[in-house]
Structure 1
C-alpha cells in the first residue's frame, strides 16, 4: 500500500479474493456456527450435519455470502487502500515499513478499521440470513436445541419472513457484536499481514502471501471469538419467542448457562478455517492485482 493503487483494481481484486475465501472456508464456518448455537463439539456438529443433510449440509446458506461477500470484500479492500493513501500519503517521504514503521502501521490499522466498518454495515443482513439457514437443521437429533421454530426454506423465504415479522430493523440483528468483532480486527488484519511479509516488497512471493494471510486470519478471528459467539446466538434466536434482549442480556444468559467456556466455543474449527480461507483471500487478491497492473502497463 506504499504505491498509488487504482480504486478499480482494488475493487476487482477484493471481489475475486472474497469469492475464493467464501468457497474455501464455508464448510468450516457452518460447523462453527452450529457449535456456537447448539453448544456442541466439532465432531458431533460435523457428524450430525453429514448424517442428516449430507455434504450439501455444510454449504447451507452459502448463496447469500457467495453473492455478496465478493462486493463487500471489494468495498473492504477499496476503502482501506484509498483511506491509507489519504492519511499516509504516497510520496517518497511518506511513512513506510522502513522509515517510520510505527506511524505506518498506526495509519494502516485506522484505514483497515474504516474499511471494516463499511463492510460490516453491508454484511450484517447477509450474516443474519446465513446464520438462520445454517442453524436450520434437517431431521431430529439430541444435539439440536436452541433453534428457530420457523423453518427457513431458503434465502428469499428467510428475508421475507424476517421483514414480515421484524421489519427492516430485524435484518440488522446482531449488528453491535458484529461491529465489535469486525471493525478493530479489520485494522489488525492488515497490520499483521504486512508485518509478516518480507520488508522488501520486491522479495514477496506467493508463499509469503499464503503464510502472512493465514496467520493474520487466525489471530484476528480467534481474539474476538466471544463477540462472534454472541452474534451467532442473537442472529439464530427464535423470531417468535426470542431468548435474548440485546447483546448484554445474551452475554449474561450464556455465562449463566455454561460459564466462560461458551464464549470460546468453536475455537479449534475457526482456527482451522481461518488459515486456508484468508491465505486464499490474499493470494488471489495479490495475484489479481499483479495481473491488473500488468494489463495497465504499455
Structure 2
C-alpha cells in the first residue's frame, strides 16, 4: 500500500518565503544597529582580568587603537549570518503561531503557547547561530597587529579543520547556545506577543494599525526580558568560544561556571551586561519594526 503525502498549498509556501524575507530584513537592521554594542560586550566578557576597567575604557581603547571601524569588527559574518538567524527565528515562530491558530480554531494562544513558539524557533536557530557567533566572536576579540584569522572565511576553515563537533571545532559552545536560544527566544516572543495582544484588547486595533513607535517599544521591551532572563548563559558561551584553540583552559560548561564563580562570584556572570542592555532596546526595536513593516509591504 502506497501512502501519498499531500503537498502543502502554494500559498503556504509563499507565506514561508515572506516570513524568511521579512526576518532577514529584521536581522540586517539588528546587526547594523547593535554591532557596536555587541563588540563592547564581547570584549568585556572575554578579556583577561584587568584588561578593561569598564564600558567606558573599552570604548576609549577601541577608538584609540582601532578607530571607529573597530566597533564593526567582524560585521560581515553577522550581517549575513544574523540575517539568516533572524529569518529562521521569525519564520519558525510564525509557523508555530499558525499551528496554534489551527489547533485553537482562531483563538489567541496563551502566553505559554507563545513561549513554546519562540522556544521551538530558538532551538532550530541554535544550530545556525552557534557557528556564526563562534566566528564573529573570534574576529571581534582579535587585537594588535598579529591576527590568527584573516577574515570570516579563513576563520571558518581553521575552526572546521579542528573537527566540526570537537572541543575546539566550529560548533564549540553549542550546548549553552541551544539553551540560551530556546529559553531566551521563548521569553522574547512571548513578551512581544503579549504586548501586541494587550494592544488588541485595549484599543481594538488590527496588527497592521499599530504605529511604528509602539512596535519599536514592544521590541525593545522584549529584548530586555530576553537578556535579563538568559544573560549568564551568554557569558558562559562567550568564555567557551574565546578559549584558546591550541591549549584550551576550559573542559566544558561546568569548568567555565566554576572559574567565573571562584574569580568574581555572581558578578562575573553579568560582565558586559551594561552594553547588552543598552543595545537591547534599539537593536530589537529595529528588528521587530522592520519585520512588521516588511510583512505589511509584501502581504
In structure 2, C-alpha distance between the alignment counterparts of 1:201 and 1:191, rounded to whole Å? 19
Using the alignment, how far apart are the partners of 1:133 and 1:212 within structure 2?
32
Residue 153 of structure 1: CA displacement?
A: 2.1
Residue by residue, what CA displacement relative to the aligned partner does 1:82-140 show, whole Å, maximum 9, x if unpaired? 1221133277x4331xxxxxx5222211111111111111111110010101111126x
Contact 1:64 1:126 in 2 (8 A): yes
Q: Which runs of 4+ in 1 moved over 3 A?
A: none
**Coordinate RMSD, CA, aligned:** 1.8
> What per-residue deviation string (whole Å, max 9, x for no partner) do you get for residues 176-203 of structure 1?
1112211111111111112223123425
Residue 190 in 1 paired to residue 189 in 2? yes
Matches within 5 A, 1:114-153: 114-138=120-144, 151-153=148-150
Distance 2:188 2:231 in 1: 15
Q: Distance in 2 between matches of 1:10 and 1:157?
A: 31
1:242-253 to 2 correspondence within 5 Å?
Answer: 242-253=248-259
> For the Cα contact (< 8 Å) 1:222–1:270, is it kept in 2?
no
Instruction: Give the deviation of 1:79 after TM superposition.
Output: 1.0
Q: What is aligned with 2:264? A: 258
Distance 1:201 1:72, change over 3 A: farther
Match of 1:6 in 2: 15
Q: Aligned residues, how many?
A: 273
TM-score, L = length of structure 2: 0.87
How much has 1:219 moved relative to structure 2? 1.3
Structure 2's unaligned 5+ residue stretches are 1-11
Range with bigger deviation, 22-31 or 82-91 = 82-91
Q: Is 1:94 paired with 2:106? A: yes
Secondary structure of 1:196's counterpart equals helix
Give me the TM-score of the superposition, normalised by structure 1: 0.87
1:142 — aligned with what? none
